[in-house]
Amino acid sequence: MITIVNYGLGNVRAIANVYKKLNIAVGIASEPGDIEKADKLILPGVGAFDFAMQRLEQSGLRPALEERVLRRNIAVLGICVGMQMLGHSSEEGTLPGLRWIDADVKKFDFSASRHAPWVPHMGWNDVRATKPNGLFHELGGDSRFYFLHSYYMRCRAEHAVAVTDYGGEFTCAVNSGNIYGVQFHPEKSHQWGVQLLKNFAERV
């Protein structure tokens, strides 16, 4: 079963509806016991980094999450701020992240550009996979996803699996072992997002 972590942030219902339409078993975890039953986990997120980390801590779900992800090696997919939370820290706040992946989160800085793009990065953009990865199975060079963010993840090259160009290329999808993250919102990304969520259920 795909289990979506409900700590009060993120498009939980929209993600669940995608899986229901695909006839893939999905549940929503609001209690630690729900997480203990998960075969795979999705950590959604919207808004500010510190607020998201505080909400996760206050939910009481973090110990169960770490048991499943770090000790049982259950696959987890972080979405948007959920991806950023996987790293060590963010320039947006002062709280530490989950530290599940060797990465940090930086703010877009186009101060040296004469034709700086608008921040936040909002709307549709192309996504290019940089190496084979089950998350991008059957997603070709024409894949487009919906973004809404002002910060991006800076990670080790071996963990980057896809990039997007917005005033320069940045990593928009990561993978380290059983830990996955995407900066964009697959639940808002039409057929490409549906395929990616399907891949997470069936290909990783």
Pseudo-torsion of CA 183, 42, 129, 133, nearest 10°?
A: 160
Can you tell me the distance from the alpha carbon of 167 to that of 201, in angstroms, rounded to the nearest whole number? 32
Altogether, the residues listed in the chain come to a count of 204
For residues 151 and 103, is the Cβ–Cβ distance under 8 A?
A: no
Verify whether residue 187 is a known catalytic residue.
yes
User: How crowded is residue 72: how many other Cβ atoms within 10 Å of its Cβ?
Assistant: 11
Q: Which of 36, 159, 187, 190 is catalytic?
A: 187
Q: Which of 121, 149, 159, 185 is catalytic?
A: 185
Verify whether residue 66 is a known catalytic residue.
no
Verify whether residue 80 is a known catalytic residue.
yes
Can you tell me the distance from the alpha carbon of 110 to that of 28, in angstroms, rounded to the nearest whole number? 39
For residues 80 and 181, is the Cβ–Cβ distance under 8 A?
A: no
Q: Which of 80, 92, 121, 159 is catalytic?
A: 80
Which residues form the catalytic set? 80, 185, 187
